[in-house]
Chain A
Amino acid sequence: MAESSDRIALPIRVHDFLLALAGRIDDDALTDARELLAVAELDRAVDLLTASLVAGRIPLSADERDELRALVDAVRSAPALVDRVIVNDNALLPRHRFTTGVMDDPAPDTGVLDAIGRVIEVLPDIRALSCVWRATPAGVPAGPVPQRVVLVETGPDGFAASTAYRVEQSLRRAGIRASVEVIQAGTDVTEYHADALAVSRRVQLRQVSGRGHDANGESGGSLFTDSPTPRTVTSTRRRYAAGAHAEKRSTVDATTGRWQPRIAHDEPAAAEPEPDPVKPYEAAAQPVAEPASHVAVVPVEPEPAPALPELALPEPGPDADLSHRERELLRQLHEELAKREGESPEETGTNGYSGHQRHSADPTATSPEVSAQFPGPEFTNGTEFDNGHSGQFNPGEFGGPSWQQSAAEQTAVNGIPPYGGTQG
């Protein structure tokens, strides 16, 4: 707990601790502590909390006591005071009853919007507002009931402590006594707040603000509607998408602008699943898993078929740059040329040349080993391979076996592996 809390700003920790105590200490103590917190008197806020807990004999759990002790240490208050707080992990939390109307009480949101309209226009990232009556007393020197509770949801750009203070002050000036609970979207909600939210009456903020807090479309994921918060969902997806995007960009060769095949030097062939000799393309034709949508985010263009003279066949280095499809095309080319020239591929040299020189010597040269790596698939007719790259290699021009490339194959050819296939 301490480890994670070290990364959270102290005022937020105090605010969260106050949220945890809502309904357990009296509303005025909470309000006063929030005011002290908002005006940067954290030590007084923590002292007020501690003394209220001791005087009211309000038990904390051991974890809560530890957090309180950490807060007391952080504000350099007197740690000895915490020792007098009652610790009881088995103590039952007080249950509260919430309602939108007790007897002749007015609606819980009566007058609230008029009182805080200006404030919520000024304060940042207020997403939702709800009001409810609490019919049960809270704390030991309890105030009268019913107690109005105003629940405010802020986004990540909001300041919970300031919002609680400013909203409460505005209500008080208008003669409205209320507890103001500010919950940041994406944080856990206590049982107290969940019970309150379940009954509360939602107030449409757009009625007050011309720019419309609710109209920004973010209220759909509000805590106040029991749906996932937008911050949690969007931030996670954005992080993931950014990561995927970065990963894809990393595969682009800066010099050529081409996707580097996943079977390049730094990724041994073992990382690529070996095709099943019986069903060589079945694996590639497997439906791409859900994250493929992230792959699709990256613009993927079919890699142009390499010009024949630049193909490097036997040498391990250049050969490793060839994609599966390229190898297949080469193999077909060799077979076709062999037929035409009445020459067996096995008689062709396999090593010792590269580039144009190699091509001029024997452009069809390949080795039985290379051929053996690509068991012959049954190609079907297809002309999609051309992709507008006329003048480049096209198996159809040689009268060889035409074939049709599935979407899955194309993905593999373009050097984009199935999701997770080349992660390590």
Chain B
Amino acid sequence: MGEAAELACHELLLSLAGRLPDRQLWRFRDWLAAGALSELSHVLPLTLLRERIGLLDDEFRLLDAALRPHGADVGLLSSIRELYELPEVGYVFHEHDSDNVGRNSLGDQLAVLLAALLRGRPSVGEVRATWRRPRHPSGRGVVEVRRVLLVTATAGHAALTGELQRVQRAVGESDPCVEVLPVGYVPLPYHRAATAASELLCVGAEDPYAHLVGGVR
């Protein structure tokens, strides 16, 4: 039950990419990687309610499988509103940072670090990166352009997510965007768009079997 709940929670948090603020999402994923499902069971439903974030039917099933066994308040879960379709993805993706010509996924310290960590690593498939920017910038302040890592893996998804997030934070990305996609995962529009505009960084030991759906090699 523990692994199933963890995987369900991981997929739920994947589905919230681009819908929940990065600052909260990376932390929830970090808690999951640390095995803090009980804490997530308390905090995540409250956050969905306070942020007025609705869920699809499939996501409700994930929520139920992941959090109810760890003490989530059923009353709170019942208050989360249903979605019948996902809203438009609020971001656009590019292979390179369009605002910074010299900034690309292959040419910086993080790329070197990721290659050292993940090349040939068991259970890891492809490691890709893309650059994300808001589809409708607010017009105030600096437009935030973020790097999004896309990794396929056959096991240990939550732990791998946590590890890569911490690596990214250590090199200066305060709210890292790391999407570790299980093999066979049917990606949502956010991940499809991200993968379509991504660049391959390196491959792990599972490369032949863990290609990203719709990915471009």
By a beta-carbon cutoff of 8 Å, the part of chain A in contact with chain B is 28-29, 32, 41, 43-44, 47-48, 50-52, 54-57, 77-78, 80-81, 84, 137, 140-144, 173, 175, 177
Contact = CB atoms under 8 A, between A and B. Distances in A.
B36 interface: yes
Contact of B38 (A48, A52, A84, A173): A84
Contacts of A80: 38, 71
Contacts of B87: none
B79 interface: no
B60 interface: no
Contact of A51 (B23, B36, B71, B142): B36
Nearest to A50: B39
Contacts of B141: 173
Given A80-B71, A142-B170, A144-B172, A47 B42 contact: yes
B46 A44 contact: yes
A42 to B, nearest CB: 13
B154 to A, nearest CB: 25
B55 to A, nearest CB: 20
B170 A51 contact: no
Given A54-B36, A55-B34, A84-B38, A47 B43 contact: yes
B170 A81 contact: no
8 contacts: A32-B27, A43-B46, A44-B46, A51-B43, A54-B34, A80-B71, A84-B36, A175-B142
B165 interface: yes
Given A51-B36, A55-B30, A78-B42, A44 B142 contact: no
Contacts of A177: 174
A51 B40 contact: yes
Nearest to A143: B169
B38 A28 contact: no
Interface residues of B, number: 26
Interface of B: 23, 27, 30-31, 34-36, 38-40, 42-43, 46-47, 50, 71, 141-142, 162, 165-166, 169-172, 174
Given A54-B39, A141-B169, A144-B171, 7 more contacts: A44-B50, A47-B43, A47-B46, A55-B34, A80-B71, A142-B169, A144-B172
A80 to B, nearest CB: 7
A9 B58 CA distance: 43
A144 B36 contact: no
Nearest to A177: B174
B8 to A, nearest CB: 18
B34 A56 contact: yes
A57 B39 contact: no
Given A57-B34, A143-B174, A144-B171, A29 B39 contact: no
Nearest to A29: B27
Nearest to B172: A144
A356 to B, nearest CB: 86
A229 B34 CA distance: 43
Contacts of A28: 23, 27, 174
A31 to B, nearest CB: 9
Contact of B31 (A55, A77, A142): A55
B23 A32 contact: yes
Contacts of A54: 31, 34, 36, 38-39
A26 to B, nearest CB: 8
Contacts of A44: 43, 46-47, 50
Contacts of A78: 42, 71
Given A28-B174, A44-B46, A55-B34, A141 B71 contact: no
B34 A81 contact: no
A21 to B, nearest CB: 15
Contacts of A140: 34, 166
A48 B172 CA distance: 22
A137 B174 CA distance: 13
Contacts of B169: 141-144
A144 B113 CA distance: 15
B177 to A, nearest CB: 14
A32 B172 CA distance: 18
Contacts of B23: 28, 32
A48 B174 contact: no
Contact of A81 (B39, B162, B171, B172): B39
B173 to A, nearest CB: 8
Contacts of B47: 44
Nearest to B28: A51
B172 A51 contact: no
